[in-house]
Structure 1
């Protein structure tokens, strides 16, 4: 069986056309509200669906969020009774502008969709004109703007309280009291309550800061900015200040980031605020750029550890160890150098360079220890010289003149050579001679020495290897008393006046005879004789000294030394 086609729709069999075909009508119903003073009835808009498949109907109310009314499917899909005789609603009973009653509730159909209109017109039903959807009066009332009340000219504190309740401006500030004794820089939070223009100052505590955990520095109160002339001596510590004593109170415009603020005698520097405060100042005062100021303590530059001035006791390295640790340790030593140069000592003969005449003939033995680079000075004792000989300087390192205390430069082996001047703690010494060990060391370590040092050693060796002046032949020809001198020398030798230290005596005379002339002055001559315990008081020795004398102040030591040898 074929159904009549609907105008504007494709041709389909009857069963296929009615399957899943739904007619939609827009409607509303009125609901009484007995227990409300603001509304007496309520208009509720619904959609009525008619299913051609089985002539069933359903009523659905669009859900409105936060309406407080159970909405959605009011009547589930079913065949609805039209009257008490058991007849059911048919699509032919539905039209625009009519009322239908379903389960005792009357619905007013005001319109339908385009598909429903085409379908009904194709079936020969004349549709009524559409009506406007009725609006809920209470919903429309809620859409109207709220009534605005005009504020009186005087300031309304109640309005301020209601408007700015629970709105607080938060500022971060510091109090710098480092200029006073034992003062410090402390951090605070300043709260400004917009509801009553009161100020509260809270202290920021850190763990283990050593302070009692008092939360408030200043309790919540209004803070005066300018007092009247007669209220400067007002006892504020015991009485509250009223508007009579104050010309101006602190307000929100006085709290600006980056500016100092004096509250109750303390000057606080505001360096930051929270986002709500920034937004408030932007809307209220037009301040959009409130920078955050960095007030963090910068680490001071590391203090350079400078050693105290050297006091002159001990070595610089030993004294510096007292500054590096609470329990000083001995400075590190070059163990390899100590093992390689153990028991190696370089000895030099030196004279003291002094303007005092008594110091001209003093001689000193320098000992340089290669293992530790230390120097010791020994003065050979001389009888009847008036100077006590012995140890002149113990083992120590000697600093070169001109070097600083921070970087001391010590004397080394290359600084000791014939003719070198060594300054030891303000005393100047001139190197006169060396021993054989020094010569061997210089030969094996010639690269350490300067050409001047090597040349001085070469000249010294040549002088020692040069033959002694042949005074015997000269005196035989020139002096007629040569035979008498030889006889006197033989007599002294026969009487057992020989001395076993002839070689040492001769070398000592050569040391003082720098020009290798064979003569020394009388003072030096007797000083050397005393050092070797020669019997200068003997009559024969006195005669020998007289015969060896040349002039008033010179003595020929060559013939004198011959008398004390076998």
Structure 2
């Protein structure tokens, strides 16, 4: 009798579960579908083999009610607790970062000094978004690019599962692998330790980072070395008794066997305090003059040290190819017994002949070694005539001082100047009016020149006075230079000075003759005040005083001085005529109207021309008229005698002088 057994009504206990032998379908229901060309996945409606799925009979509301159901108390149902306030993770964990300290080992290839290098790192874990960044603190003079090793990001834990590292995966005294590089975690900061403890995690004990092999070897090699050497000689007693006592020997090094070698003098100093010696070069002759040997003036050939007698007397086991022998490696060193007069001492493969010593060294040998004769060995070179230096004749290029500078120095230096004379006589010029004296050419007889003599540099500068309808360009005739007298020696020239510039004298300027006709008042005053400086100046002063007596001194010159008393009306008229001529030469008549000419003089626009304005305008035009003469001209123009020139007075002056255009 076949009976149907309902397996779902049996209790779910061992022994009551068995497979249905009549079941033949075991296919998995389909959960994939396509809609509008997109693949979709839905929940299965039937189980394996087409069996119905036993779903929960309770709906979602019933399940929520059961989850929040609380058993009733004695006095009724308890109050439901209010739901907690929701705070996003990026707000709750903002600026909260876990810090772990660690290191990783970097393999070093092709180096005998180290096989691996220990590089410390700091791992930062950001709680707000579970990102990690790895930083390497910089080490000075390491030569390795340091700083940010891994930028801030979520680091994958396993590529297959797609999981990422969290703070629970980073443990003290453990390793983590970021992109194939293994980092050893050694410690963390205090806040990180407290946070991990609050989350129920156990924080392991901190560990120390292993030392870097190269750094340890470097510290060991650079550590100060200490040695303890036993000695039976009292060096302190030697220093106290023989300090500042030095033996001095005079010697020569004969190096004439070598190419370009010669005999060179030296001085050997032997210090009795510590048995050291030094060899000093001698760059002076026995007479005390500098020796022109062409060598650099180094003071020492051999610095102060203990010098062994045999430089190569060292043990054969000593590695001379990589190390330098110390004092303990040599057997014998030089002593005072080796430096006798006449002995040849070989130091550093150089042979030094001792030919003399000083007085203290002689007393030392007389007291300690009983030597009484200290005759020096003659080592002087054979006598010969020293070449004499002569100065070549002047070739005419440049000044005489510049040519002499190339004879005295390899790199010519500018000649020295008398700065006191230049400062005391700055802007002091003697000015003379001269006429070209040419016997053969009559067309140059009417050419007038102004000669400037600078008292600061003793140089001349000549300007030609402009003249109308001559066809010659006036202006600078000779630039500033010194003028030698004719007939003097070209190598020892004699230059013109103030004593040679008298009225009526002729000055020869490079094959040109200038006859002096006039001078300004400053020349007379200066020569009187400095009469003692210039011999033979009385004739020049006398000729200038004669012109001063005839009221002819200072025509057409500029120089501040006191005005002579009592100018005649004829003299004033000549001054006005001179000013009008100078204004015409300065193109004063090219103004479009007389009003523009008046405005050119009236700087402050007060409708009047003041004496200062007239003097300022004349100085701008470079018209050679003295200051006191300008005042006299102003008095002639000022007909109202009120101290200022009005518009009407200016028109009268222009019409009288004939300066207007047309």
Common fold: TM-score over 0.5: no
Task: Give the TM bin, normalised by the shorter chain.
Answer: 0.3 to 0.5
* Bigger relative contact order (CA 8 A; separation at least 6): 1
Highest CA radius of gyration, 1 or 2? 1
* TM-score (norm. length: structure 2): 0.28
